[in-house]
Amino acid sequence: MSDHKKILVTGSAGFIGHHTTLRLAAEGHEVMGIDNLNTYYSIDLKLARLRAQGIPTDRIEYHQIVEGKPGIRFMQLNITDGQKLEELFQRYQFDYVVHLAAQAGVRYSIENPHVYIDTNVKGFLEVLECCRRYHVKHLVFASSSSVYGTNDKVPFSEEDRTDQQVSLYAATKKANEAMAHSYASVYGLPVTGLRFFTVYGPFGRPDMALFKFTDKIIKGDPIDVYNHGNLSRDFTYIDDIVDGLMGVIPQIPHKDPPYSIYNIGRGEPVSLHDFIQSIEQAAEMKAIRHNLPMQPGDVEKTWADTSNLHNLNGYKPKTRMDEGVKCFVEWYKNYLGIH
């Protein structure tokens, strides 16, 4: 996307949303970020991301637009508020929408199911409706590798069946894919979904393994290692994710219906044992491991076949896990003032 576009990023105070907002603005686009700033995890981290975008967080008021770095605006807004969302679409006439807002977390969906339906299903419906009414050129939305559920064929391919999810979070993401396909079919709305695979990096979420493990290892506390460490994940560094996302936004699906779905991951699984070892090396400390059985709603392995995305825009992750983990640990120490 070489020319200037108006782009809405939902969930812009979230991990992927933050990095996407910065990249879009750096490339000269006009970005409106929205986020409800909920308290699922530390609001301080979300505010720190916004400050890194130049947003004066002391001036944030609900439904009020504040200016950040050149090309960045922010509004605290819940995507379930259809009226306010529509007012925003009407005012800015967005060219593209990058929908990353969601209630995240597999385990939390077991404890608090209603918020997943409200945000991930009802909220996505409001986004779809506004994109339809205001003729958005392309809606790109976040799905998840968790839609593959109990699929044991690896690597996971977009052509595999995805009808056996093992968590409500995963089920809402599968519902998003079905909803998006229906809007593409009925209204001709161009939509692309991205199935993210275990994203990590600076400003990452504190409920995810890298943040939790780093925090506990540095503090000398034991880490919970599920399934006795016999797990593997397709860990993908945030810069590689944003590279792929940026390549997808201008690639409007021109087919009937105008709908596409892509895996976006590194394309190689890493064992939990090796992942922990990388953190130990970067932190220069040994982990105290507390081995536990498999958790409900979890899966043993994720592994992305990214050939379709590579064929679309040349997507090819560059960051090795040891490099990415080192970058995170350095950020974490700086964020908490550890020297």
Q: Quote the CA–CA distance of 78 and 98 in Å, as a whole number.
A: 15
> Catalytic positions, please?
169
In single-letter form, the type of residue at position 262 comes to Y
179-215 as b/e, with b when 16 or more CB fall inside 10 Å? Answer: bbbebbeebebbbbbbbbbbbbbbbbbbebbbbebbe
53-86 as b/e, with b when 16 or more CB fall inside 10 Å? Answer: bbbebeebeeeebbebeebbbbbbbbbbbbebbe
pLDDT digits (tens, 9 = 90+) for 182-226: 999 999 999 999 999 999 999 999 999 999 999 999 999 999 999
**Which pLDDT band holds residue 40 (cuts at 50, 70, 90)?**
very high
Break the chain into its structural domains and give their ranges.
6-198+236-267+303-319
- Output the CA torsion 30→31→32→37 (10° steps): -160
**Which pLDDT band holds residue 158 (cuts at 50, 70, 90)?**
very high
Mean pLDDT of the chain: 95
Q: Regarding the domain delimited by 6-198+236-267+303-319, which CATH topology (the fold level of the hierarchy) does it fall under? A: Rossmann fold (3.40.50)
Task: List, as own/partner pairs, every contact residues 279-284 make where C-beta atoms lie below 8 angstroms and the sequence separation is at least 24, other chains included.
Answer: 279/210, 279/213, 279/214, 279/217, 279/325, 279/329, 280/217, 281/322, 282/322, 282/325, 282/326, 282/328, 282/329, 282/330, 283/214, 283/217, 283/218, 283/329
Q: Quote the CA–CA distance of 211 and 217 in Å, as a whole number.
A: 10
Whether 259 contacts 253, CB under 8 Å: yes
**Which pLDDT band holds residue 1 (cuts at 50, 70, 90)?**
low
Strand ordering across the sheet containing 65-67: 65-67, 72-76, 30-35, 6-10, 96-99, 138-144, 191-196, 259-264
pLDDT digits (tens, 9 = 90+) for 233-254: 999 999 999 999 999 999 999 9
Confidence at residue 339, expressed as pLDDT on a 0 to 100 scale: 75
pTM over 0.85: yes
Q: What percentage of the chain's residues is helix, strand, coil (to nearest 5)?
A: 45, 20, 40
- Output the CA torsion 325→99→76→85 (10° steps): 180
pLDDT digits (tens, 9 = 90+) for 319-332: 999 999 999 999 99
Average pLDDT over residues 272-301: 91
Look at residue 295 and tell me whether its pLDDT is greater than 90: no
**Which pLDDT band holds residue 105 (cuts at 50, 70, 90)?**
confident
Look at residue 48 and tell me whether its pLDDT is greater than 70: yes
Look at residues 332, 185, 293, 313 and name the one whose alpha carbon lies nearest to residue 245. Answer: 313
